[in-house]
Amino acid sequence: MLKIGLTGGIGCGKTTVTNLFVAHNIPVIDADEIAHQLVEPGQPALEHIKTAFGTDFVSVEGVLDRKKMRDCIFSDNYAKKKLEAILHPLVYSGLQSKLTQLHAPYCIICVPLLFETQMESIADRILVVDCSVAQQIERVKKRENMSAEKIQAIINSQIARDIRLSKADDIINNAETENNLAHQVKKLHQLYISLSTL
């Protein structure tokens, strides 16, 4: 099965594009979803987090204080690396295990931090969803209550747009309206179907 790694910066339109592939009956697996499940109460990763970060981060009921953790890793690069060292190998094996359950000509593996986490090798081909930084800020601001400064800081923590684009096999240009996406996805769907039979 051909594996397409879909990535892009915050608010570039990964979810919107992914939904269009789903409409073509293409299975999607999502690294963020796996990362989220890994820190559900009772999951082994939570015990590692408790050991590495202290009991302050996990309630007595075993629930991770996600906001505290987000704030911590945002302001402390060492803490960020420590959390990544716990989660990334588990996310990678979680993706691998989901892949073995799929039956389709190709699938989409959505990994927002594909390059930042050096997970490129999980995919045969890389698809980048792209728009300008100004559009990322405008769209995320509209979607949720986050300041432009915070969004910019997240963008700064991600790989630079030009480097991300230089690593792409395929690019979806999401600079126009959402209506412009369906046609681009359809063309890529046809390409991936043709590559999958090679």
Interface with ligand ATP (CB under 6 A):
8, 10-16, 112, 139, 143, 174, 177-178
CB of 12 to ligand ATP, least distance (A): 4
At 29, list the tokens. Answer: 């697996």
CB of 18 to ligand ATP, least distance (A): 7
Q: Which residue has the tokens 């796996």?
A: 34
Strand, helix or coil at 147?
coil
Is the Cβ of residue 107 or residue 158 nearer to ligand ATP in the bound state?
158
CB of 106 to ligand ATP, least distance (A): 20
CB of 184 to ligand ATP, least distance (A): 11
At 89, list the tokens. Answer: 């190998």
Question: In what helix (H) or strand (E) does residue 129 lie, and over which residues does it extend?
Answer: strand 125-130
Is the Cβ of residue 1 or residue 160 nearer to ligand ATP in the bound state?
160
Is the Cβ of residue 39 or residue 174 nearer to ligand ATP in the bound state?
174
Taking the C-alpha atoms of residue 188 and residue 176, their distance in angstroms, rounded to an integer, is: 18
> Following DSSP, what letter does each residue of 82-142 receive, concatenated?
HHHHHHHHHHHHHHHHHHTT--SSEEEEE-TTTTTTT-GGG-SEEEEEE--HHHHHHHHHH
Is the Cβ of residue 15 or residue 43 nearer to ligand ATP in the bound state?
15
Taking the C-alpha atoms of residue 148 and residue 9, their distance in angstroms, rounded to an integer, is: 15
Is the Cβ of residue 58 or residue 129 nearer to ligand ATP in the bound state?
129
CB of 44 to ligand ATP, least distance (A): 26
